[in-house]
Copies of this chain bind each other. A is one copy, B any other.
Amino acid sequence: MRIEEGETRSPPVEEDDTSPGVVETRYFRFAERESDRLLLDSGRRFGPVTVAFETYGRLNRDASNAVLVCHALSGDAHAAGYRDRKGNDPGWWNDAIGPGKAFDTDRYFVICSNVIGGCRGTTGPSTIDPETDQAYGLDFPVVTIGDMVEVQKRLLGYLGIEKLLAVAGGSMGGMQAIEWALRYPDASRAHIVIASTARLSPQSIAFNTVGRSAILSDSDFLAGRYYDSTIPYRGLSLARMIGHITYLSDESMETKFGRRLQEGENFSYDFKSEFQVESYLNYQGSKFVERFDANTYLYVTKAMDYFDVARYYGGGSLEKAMERVKSRVLLLSFSSDWLFPTAQSRDVVKALSRLRKDVTWVDIPSSYGHDAFLLEMETESEIIRAFLSATESWEAAP
């Protein structure tokens, strides 16, 4: 079973008519020629880039029903459907994308791609650098959320989509949705920002810092050139454990684990994993290592730390930055999310409201913490479905 951030789901049924069915990841390659290189926010030029992507549903004749879905830190292009007819490997947002679901594939053409810097098919630090025939490692350029959007923009060009119906994403995916609204205000009629923020708090940067330090200080990290030897699994696993603490709320941890022991009722008086919460974190840490690259963890968390649209587009003012918005914006936050807290969504809503932009905000009561964005699907779906429907009949103010 696939896990996006912290939570398992019920296994898929073999026949599931609310699913886009069996899907394959496809690949698009660009910037092969020097003149076609990506210009990154850092000022570096970069290419070639391969983008892993999937699509669900059908693009309509006037190409007006496309929705771009953006993934979070550990996600990838496989957002929905299964890998085979047995229902193996459901996409990370399979609950949200499919016939009749929030992103209804009977109505919309949904696209999801792996971010640049990633490790799930799109060019990143684990990709072979054609100039050296070695993996890039730390020679890969530091990328931003803006750079991720640039790559998605190229993909949309390739798919023949000039204007999206919506860009949607949770967590880091929500950052990409915000970035889209500001970088390409005309490229989408709506933006859906879930459990996200216009910039991380210093506390969230601090958690990312410790995660990166765990990787960087792992003796197997070898300055990022570990691909031919032991991977820095201890550092990456620690980073993931820290992440998981921040994805859950104090309350959901209390409900899920309390102070219960993994085995028996007596303390073991040693340093083995003993409380259920310990086992859970250790398990999540060790599982993550199997499917994720440590260098990508560095790049993607750094991109999140850098993300700050007030700084980039508003000279420090969020309101000034938000003047660029021309689309309808929906924000969803969750009451117990302390990683991307309600107050951060409120800041965005305030700025948009003062500018009389078309903004809708729902702070959903939930005890699940940041993970809520993957778990409160029923509530989210209802809101998203209505918002997308309304967007279809909405015309942007001139």
Whether B209 lies near A253 (C-beta < 8 A) is no
In the complex, whether A242 has a CB less than 8 A from a CB of chain B is yes
Whether the Cβ atoms of B209 and A271 lie closer than 8 Å is: no
The answer to whether A245 and B203 touch across the interface, beta carbons within 8 angstroms, is yes
| Contact status A205-B302, CB under 8 Å | no
Residue pair B214, A258 in contact (C-beta under 8 Å):
no
Among residues of B, the one whose C-beta sits closest to the C-beta of A207 is B245
Q: Are A245 and B210 in contact (CB under 8 A)?
A: yes
Q: Is the CB of A210 within 8 A of B281?
A: yes
B216 adjacent to A277 (CB under 8 Å): no
Q: Which residues of B contact A245 (CB under 8 A)?
A: 203, 206-207, 210
List A residues 110-154 near B (Cβ within 8 Å).
138, 141-142
Q: Are A277 and B219 in contact (CB under 8 A)?
A: no
Cα distance A194–B25 when bound, in Å?
A: 56
Which one, B138, B207, B219, B281, contacts A209 given CB within 8 A?
B281
**Range of interface residues on chain A?**
35 or more
Chain B contacts for A253, CB-based, 8 A: 201-203, 206
Give every chain B residue within 8 A of A302 (Cβ-Cβ).
271
From B141, B199, B201, A269 is in contact (CB under 8 Å) with B141
In Å, the complex CA distance between A267 and B253 comes to 36
The answer to whether A189 has its CB under 8 Å from any CB of chain B is: no
> In the complex the two chains form, what is the Cα distance from A282 to B213 in whole Å?
9
CB distance from A28 to the nearest CB of B (A): 26
**Is A238 part of the contact surface with B, judged by Cβ < 8 Å?**
yes
B250 contacts A238, C-beta separation under 8 Å: no
> Can you identify 24 A-B contacts, CB atoms within 8 angstroms?
A42-B267, A44-B269, A138-B271, A142-B271, A199-B259, A202-B250, A202-B253, A202-B254, A202-B275, A202-B277, A203-B253, A206-B277, A206-B281, A207-B245, A209-B277, A209-B281, A210-B238, A210-B245, A213-B238, A213-B241, A242-B242, A250-B341, A259-B308, A271-B298
